[in-house]
Amino acid sequence: MEEKVAQNQEQTQEKEEKKTSEVVKTVFKYILGIVLVGLGIWAVIGLWQSVWTVIKGCLGVFLILAGAITIAIAKE
C-alpha cells in the first residue's frame, strides 16, 4: 500500500514538473516572438527606403500573378 502511495506522489511530482517546464517554454516563446516582432518593426522603419524599393520591384510580378490567377478563374 505504501508503495502505491509513493508511486502516486512521484507521478504527481513528475506531472507538476512537466507543467512547469511547459509554462517556462511557452513564456520563452512569447518573449522571443515579441522580441522578433520588435526587431522586424525596427528593421522596416530603419530601412524604409530599401523596403519601398523592394515593394516597387515586386509590384509588376504581383500584377502578373494576379492577372494569371484571374484568367485561370475565368476559364472555369
DSSP assignment string, the chain: -HHHHHHHHHHHHHHHHHHHHHHHHHHHHHHHHHHHHHHHHHHHHHTHHHHHHHHHHHHHHHHHHHHHHHHHHHH-
pLDDT of 6 reads: 65
- pLDDT tens-digit readout, 44-62: 999 999 999 999 999 999 9
C-alpha cell at 32: 522571443
pLDDT of 5 reads: 65
Give the residues of the chain that fall short of pLDDT 70.
1-7
pLDDT of 67 reads: 96
pTM above 0.75, yes or no: no
